[in-house]
Amino acid sequence: MTTGGGPLRRQLAVELATLAALAAVYLALLPRRPPGLDPAMALLGLALVGLGARRTRERIWGPPAAPPAERRRRAARAMTGLTAAALVGLAVYATWPALATGAGVDEAVRRLAAPRLLAALPVYVPWALVQQALFQFYLLGRLRALLPGAPLMVLATLNGLAFGAVHWPDREVAVLTALGGVAWSYRYHHDRLLVPLALSHAVLGTAFYGWVRNTDPLGVLLGR
């Protein structure tokens, strides 16, 4: 339960409007950004979020309704199921062109079984955790406080769309991130745990770049 009522909501409205304007200018001026710029901006944002973390936790989110053990079990089940289903979808999406054009099973297996995917995960998890903290702990919390009567799916959809938008102009990544963002937002609202979301995000991101884009996910992360 949030505290502060109307004054808090007015503050949050100004805060989010300012953030949206700055993000729009950033994306418009730098549609093709140099490697390292997005992570640097995300880390700066995380530092600012960290400065106000106590306020966000106490005045915007409030205490979780369920005990930690129950929330961990719930999040683990939900994220395992969601991630497994999404991996199947990505595998079909990645291999269908090869199978349909006659490249055959060998090409499909080579793409899906690439060992470089595992090498990228230890790097991808921290990056995914930063993004989830910004969009779940910070942004979703503020949307929830700003729109106290909104259904959860409306909040999750708004947050997912914002999550996808920052990946523009890569339309494919933006759309897939928005879809994932809706599911992650829904689960964070229930479970208040970032690590399961970050693990799901990292696994799916690695699979996307390795399977669908047929690139080295670690190279993408490091800007190589």
pLDDT at 103: 65
pLDDT at 90: 93
Q: What is the pTM of this model?
A: 0.89
Question: How many angstroms separate the most distant Cα atoms in the chain?
Answer: 63
Give the pLDDT confidence of 162-213 residue by residue, as tens digits.
Answer: 999 999 889 999 999 999 999 999 999 999 999 999 999 999 999 999 899 9
Give the pLDDT confidence of 158-175 residue by residue, as tens digits.
Answer: 999 999 999 988 999 999
- The answer to whether residues 183 and 201 touch, using CB atoms and an 8 Å cutoff, is no
pLDDT at 152: 97
**Percent of the chain surpassing pLDDT 70:** 94
What is the domain count for the chain? 1
**Percent of the chain surpassing pLDDT 90:** 58
Tell me how far apart the alpha carbons of residues 99 and 94 are, in angstroms, rounded to a whole number: 10
Tell me how far apart the alpha carbons of residues 135 and 112 are, in angstroms, rounded to a whole number: 30
Q: Which residues contact 161 (CB under 8 A, 6 or more apart)?
A: 178, 181
Q: Which residues contact 40 (CB under 8 A, 6 or more apart)?
A: none
Q: Is the dihedral of CA 163, 207, 78, 46 positive or negative?
A: negative
**Residue 114 is part of which domain span?**
5-222
